[in-house]
């Protein structure tokens, strides 16, 4: 399984989603992908039935997801290392059910200067203040303006450091197009919540690409339990 995906394609040198850790089961009797069935059946002291009939396990997980019995999906967790533009990270971190640890520009200047360049410049939607639609005519002109702005920001940052300014203040000039990186951990129930919200057509394109990567990795990691959530929640 490919544990590293590039949300914006191979041409983007920074954007990345990497699976770094996931729940394991100790022992050989059960598979992690059966966890929701195991957790659900414990209510009837019948966890031992899990694995006897894979189709029944699958149907049970689909039933749970379809009828919003979600607590059995809280026993699998996955941790991702994510590299993404600051403005996408701030949108992502509105999901407060995840645990985060992010690179700090107080401690390191390394992230400064790694910038996001849009592949397509979009127009502002007239009927929805938070959405975009169509393409701007002067694509090259917009990219030129952005790159000039980035260059000015980096030079300003370096000049502040040269004057002895501390990193925690110098970072004030860093634009939201700068890449950051963090670790994000959540259980399966909360990953599907993130996925469903951020994969929606009205979600911002930049974060939708990350949601697609999360979904692709989890689908390969736990096809039965993730599949039940994907089609039942």
Q: List active site positions.
A: 198
Nearest to 19 by CA among 214, 224, 223: 214
CB 1 within 8 A of CB 78: no
Helices 223-232, 54-66: axis angle to 10 degrees equals: 30
Residue 12: name the closest of 122, 150, 116 by CA: 116
CA 75 to chain centre: 19
- Are 30 and 222 in contact by the 8 Å Cβ rule? The answer is no
Closest CA to 35 of 232, 231, 222: 222
Q: Dihedrals φ, ψ of 120, to 5°?
A: -135, 130
Of the CA atoms within 13 Å of residue 104, those in its CB half-sphere come to 8
Q: What is the largest CA-CA distance in the chain?
A: 69
Rg (CA), the chain: 21
Say if CB 153 and CB 175 are below 8 A apart: yes
């Amino acid at each position: 399984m490919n544990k590293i995906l590039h949300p914006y394609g191979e041409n983007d040198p920074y954007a990345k989603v990497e699976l770094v850790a996931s729940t394991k089961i100790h022992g050989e009797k059960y598979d992690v992908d059966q966890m929701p069935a195991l957790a659900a059946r414990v209510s009837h002291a019948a966890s031992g039935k899990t694995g006897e009939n894979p189709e029944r396990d699958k149907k049970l997980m689909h039933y749970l997801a379809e009828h919003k019995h979600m607590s059995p999906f809280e026993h699998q967790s996955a941790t991702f290392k994510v590299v993404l533009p600051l403005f996408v990270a701030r949108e992502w971190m509105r999901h407060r059910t995840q645990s985060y640890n992010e690179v700090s520009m107080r401690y390191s200047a390394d992230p400064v200067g790694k910038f996001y360049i849009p592949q397509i410049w979009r127009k502002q939607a007239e009927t929805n203040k938070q959405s975009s639609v169509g393409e701007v005519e002067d694509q090259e002109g917009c990219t030129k303006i952005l790159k000039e702005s980035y260059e000015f920001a980096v030079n300003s940052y370096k000049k502040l450091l040269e004057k002895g300014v501390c990193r925690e203040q110098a970072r004030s000039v860093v634009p939201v197009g700068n890449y950051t990186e963090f670790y994000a951990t959540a259980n399966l129930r909360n990953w599907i919540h993130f996925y469903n919200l951020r994969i929606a057509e009205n979600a911002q394109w930049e974060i939708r690409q990350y949601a697609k990567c999360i979904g692709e990795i989890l689908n390969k990691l736990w096809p039965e339990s993730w599949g039940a959530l994907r089609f039942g929640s």
